[in-house]
Amino acid sequence: MGLNINHFMPLVALASVTVAATPAQAALAVGATAPAVSTPAVIAGKQFPFHLADALKKGPVVLYFFPAAFTSGCTIEAHDFSDATAQFSALGATVIGLSHDPIDKLSRFSVTECRNKFAVGVASSAIIDAYKVKLPIISMSDRTSFVIAPDGKIVFVYSALSAEGHVTKSLAAVKAWRASHPAK
């Protein structure tokens, strides 16, 4: 009896997806200094240059990486961040999502999925590499959220394939940081 390769194709496909969905290396750890980010970004369809250093002057920054605009998980995550934007703002935090997508695609995503409430920017390969959030083989980032304190130190990191938990855990981290650093 011969071996039929077609019986193994679903396993090969599953293995490929699993490898592609697993980060190549662990994201930067809590306590690390956040690498500089200067990139084209967009909010409400309007493009602007985003500089992490400038955003940190205003308070903590929630910098979250997502694989691709308009995919189901990334849309859910954008809606969740959109719903929580007022809570982050009340704590003095800025939210920005980063993806390897081109700026014109992110412009549409900022209006429809981010609901004009927070910025999304281009995650260049260099930014993805600096934050250690690259998916193996492809140039997309994994799904990782960072909370960065105004001093540039990472105070929270959460990586998960699912969009679930990124907003609630990031918000809890900002609240905890704010409790120990009252606004002046």
The CATH number of whichever domain residue 115 belongs to comes to: 3.40.30.10
Is 14 contained in some domain? no
**If 0-12 CB within 10 Å is exposed, 13-18 middle and 19+ buried, where does residue 16 land?**
exposed
φ, ψ for residue 127, nearest 5 deg: -65, -45
Say what the pLDDT of residue 136 is. 84
Is 109 contained in some domain? yes
End-to-end CA distance of the chain: 77
Is 164 contained in some domain? yes
pLDDT in tens, 163-176: 999 999 999 999 99
Is 157 contained in some domain? yes
Is 39 contained in some domain? yes
Say what the pLDDT of residue 180 is. 95
Say what the pLDDT of residue 25 is. 54
- Asked whether the predicted pLDDT for residue 24 surpasses 80, the reply is no
List, in order, residues 6 or more apart from 147 with CB less than 8 Å away.
60, 61, 62, 63, 93, 154, 155, 156, 170, 173, 174, 177
Is 64 contained in some domain? yes
Look at 17-26, 52-61, 106-115, 161-170 and tell me which has the smallest mean pLDDT: 17-26
Is 170 contained in some domain? yes
Say what the pLDDT of residue 144 is. 96
- DSSP readout, 44-86? TTEEEEEEHHHHHTTS-EEEEE-S-TTSHHHHHHHHHHHHHHH
What is the extent of the structural domain holding 157? 28-180
Is 117 contained in some domain? yes
pLDDT in tens, 76-85: 999 999 999 9
Count: domains in the chain: 1
- Asked whether the predicted pLDDT for residue 90 surpasses 90, the reply is yes
